[in-house]
Structure formats: structure tokens, C-alpha cells
Amino acid sequence: MLTKNNFRNNKSNYPSQQYGVLDLFSGCGGLALGFKHKGFSILESVEIDKAASKTAGYNLHTNDNKRTHSSHKSVLDFTYQGDGGNGKVITIGGPPCQAYSNIGKAKIKSLGIERFGLNDDRAFLYEEFLRVALEASSDFIVMENVPEAVNFLGVNIASEVCMKLEKNGYKAVWTILNAADFGVPQTRERLFVFAVKREAGGEILLPDPTHQKPDKKFKTQNEKRFKSFCSDPYFREPNKPDKDLPFWVTTHEAISDLPELLIDSDTEYEYFKPNVRLPYLTEAKNDYQKKMRKNTFNASYVSGNSYRNTARDFRIFEEMHWGDDYRHAYDIAHKILRREAKRLKVVQSRHPDKYKELKKKLVPPYDKNKFFTKWKRLSPHKPSHTLVAHLGTDTYSHIHPYEPRGITIREAARLQSFPDDFLFQGSMGDSFKQIGNAVPPLMSEAIAEAVEKSLNSGV
């Protein structure tokens, strides 16, 4: 637990202005990692998921000689115990978003109305985040969530948070940022609330993009909504990228140097434990790959090569084109069924039981009209679409662009901009879930830099 004494005793390890970071709902530590890369000390990570807490502890705190740590507990049970001494606190975190997200709503409805809308306690965990942030008398606050939080049963949660912070002595704004604008090979949009203590006198500066979209006319669904947000006094449009910035990082640029694992659908599946290292396929070929290998340049091997054995579907994946979704996969599966039935001389009208058994073996059982968004083959020429926590259950949502399989742990981590020396704790499912839930570290680095500039603006 953070205390007055350990804060004072270790302030020499903090940046010049003595800011330390308290990370709530930390997950595996993606948001905190960006702050650490920018020189901030992560005072404590608080996370209820055991595997994610271990990951945050291992990667963010192990080398700090136990001066900082990861707490495996609910934020509901967490109380800030340090007064900060002469040090200053920045509180960051992403309260659970399932209650707000479209994916979450569909799932919760299937579980029962008692887990939906106002009945879902997770919808109000942002209040616990604010409780701790205010207890810590935080000099700066960063809260992350999904864009759907702007309309939760008619309520804009982002505005509600800003309003409460204003009443407690802060300047506050909210915006929506796209991870691709910050060098992450993924078009992942997330809502952020930024707040600075009024007595600090600083202004809130939003992060500056490091990359730009290749098609200036293209607008995401959230960009199209920016005009409708302008009536909200707390909303601020994100900074626009400079014209000379590099284009968004593509999937090919992100993962093409990683190990080749399944050449074709006839290749025998081999399970590699997450800690097993395999040789890189090539040398680092671009700036992004070099950045991901920054702390592993002398290593010829990389871990996290686990992927799911979805044997029925390897043949389907093999025939999918870049950008194809489940509707295409469903049609491909039926083509495979017809070919196999012809080869085996199984006629549906004459051999109904054999045909039914063959169909079950080859064709996924999902409705292609309801399920089509759940499968997608990555295009090597574009950033990935958004990674989600459901990766922990399957990886059909992100099918490898060249090989007939889902992505590996390390490939998912690359698409989220976790460096190759970041090691995930727990099972393969745990690792995928942690990655899908995380804030991309490169995006967080840009946020941390903006926070530092904001605080310096008041000096």
C-alpha cells in the first residue's frame, strides 16, 4: 500500500517535478507503461483480475526493488493512504467498459436483465475511480473508456465525470483519440477525460499525433460525431496531425518479422507455451519493428507464440481474402463441404446422416447474418481493426493476413504496441484478454508527454 513514508523516501526516483502515477483498474498495465517510458514512477497498480495484476507487477514493478507494487484487489476495497508528502500524484485508469460498449450490452442481455443497464454495477465504477483520485488530491487525472460512454441510457458519462471534477477544484475536458494517430498499428478509438487541479494553474494540453491517416477524406464513425459533441462545454476535438507526419502503421509493418508458424492448412498444429521463444523470421525491417525490439536487440528469439488450435477452420481461413468477414467464411465453408461431399460421394438426399456429420465437421454453426462481425481477416496494408477482450475466448476476430490461423499472443501484443520484452502472465486466454483490454502503450506515451507539458504550463 502506498504510504507517506515510502513516497517521501523514494522521491529521488521520480521526474524533476516529483510526479508519481497511481494506476487504478490497471489491467496488465498498458496505460501505465507509456507513463513509465516517459520517466514517471508507477507508485501502485490496482487490479482485481489476478493474472492481469501479476502481469502489471512483473513488467512495471519487479525491477523497482519492491518500492512500488501491484495490488490484486478491487478498487472498491482500495483506500489511498498517503498524503503525498512533498511528492505529487497523477491518477490514471480505465474503469470497466462492458456496461457501455455495444458488445457488452448484447452479452449482458443474453445473461439477463439484472446484468444490464442501471442494474450493472460496473456502469458506476467510474465513481470509485473518482473517489480514489480525489482522496489522493491528484494533480492530474486521466480516465479512459469506450466512446459508447457518451450515451449510456441517455447520459454522457464523460460529461458527468468532468462536471464532478469541476465541482472539486479541477479543470476538465474529454475527447476521443484514435490509437493509429500515435503510431499504433490499430484503428482503436477510446474516450479520455483529462483533468488538472485548478490551483496548479496549468492548462490541459491534448496529445500531439505522431502519424496521419493516408486517406484524408476517410472519417471514423466517431469523427463524424465530433460536430454533435461541440455543444458539450467539456468536449474538445483532438489535435490534428501535421502534414509531414508518416502514415499510419500497417499490420504488415507491425508483425511481418515474427515467427512463421502455420504455412498452410495441412501443416500440423504445434502448441508453443507462452514462454517458449522462437527465432524471429527476419531482422527488424522498419522503425516500428525496431521500436518493439528496443530492449531485445541482442536477442534472436521472441516469446508469446501461442495461437489457438481451430483445426476445423484453418482450411476456411486459407481461402479468405484480406478484409473478409464471417459471411465470406460461411460461403467458403459450404464450398469446402460440397467439394468434400463430392470427393467422398456423399449425397445429402441419399446419405442424410453422413452429410449431416460431414457438415458439422466442416461448417461453423453460426448464423452468417448475425455473426458476421465476429470473424475478419487482417489486411496487411492497413492498421488492424480494434482488438477486444473477447480475444481471450477466441481469435476469429483477427485472422492472420498471410497464414491460415488466428493471431498469436505476440502478434496481438504488437498490434497493441506492447514491446517484445513485455511478458504476459497467466494462460493463453488470460494473455489475449489482457491485451484486448489494454490501452496501447505508444498511445499512452503521447498522453504522458501531454500531461507533463500540461503540468509544466502552470509553472
Q: At residue 191, what are phi and psi to the nearest 5 degrees?
A: -85, 140
**Is there a contact between 140 and 196 (Cβ–Cβ < 8 Å)?**
yes
Return the residue matching grid coordinates 494517430.
181
d(CA 355, CA 55): 47
Confidence check: pLDDT of 192 > 60: yes
pLDDT at 284: 95
Q: What is the CA radius of gyration of the chain?
A: 23
Q: Nearest-CA neighbor of 385 among 453, 325, 454?
A: 325
pLDDT digits (tens, 9 = 90+) for 1-54: 434 344 334 433 334 357 899 999 999 999 999 999 999 999 999 999 999 999
Say how many CA atoms lie within 13 Å of 384 toward its Cβ. 31
Q: What length does the chain have?
A: 459
pLDDT at 1: 42
Strand partners, 327: none
Between residues 122 and 313, which one has the greater pLDDT? 313
Lowest mean pLDDT of 120-124, 240-244, 274-278, 347-351, name the range: 120-124
Between residues 112 and 376, which one has the greater pLDDT? 376
Give the rounded percent of residues in the chain with a pLDDT score beyond 70.
87
pLDDT at 124: 76
Active-site residue, 97 included: yes
pLDDT digits (tens, 9 = 90+) for 391-440: 888 889 999 999 999 999 999 999 999 999 999 999 999 999 999 999 99
d(CA 392, CA 379): 22
**Is there a contact between 440 and 186 (Cβ–Cβ < 8 Å)?**
yes
Q: Which residues contact 89 (CB under 8 A, 6 or more apart)?
A: 19, 20, 21, 22, 43, 136, 137, 138, 139
Find the mean pLDDT for residues 207-224.
Answer: 94
What mean pLDDT, rounded, does the chain reach?
Answer: 88
**Is there a contact between 169 and 137 (Cβ–Cβ < 8 Å)?**
no
Give the rounded percent of residues in the chain with a pLDDT score beyond 90.
74
Rounded to two decimals, the pTM is: 0.89
Confidence check: pLDDT of 65 > 70: no
Find the mean pLDDT for residues 371-377.
Answer: 87
Confidence check: pLDDT of 455 > 80: yes
Domains by residue range for the chain, with CATH: 4-247+439-456 (3.40.50.150)
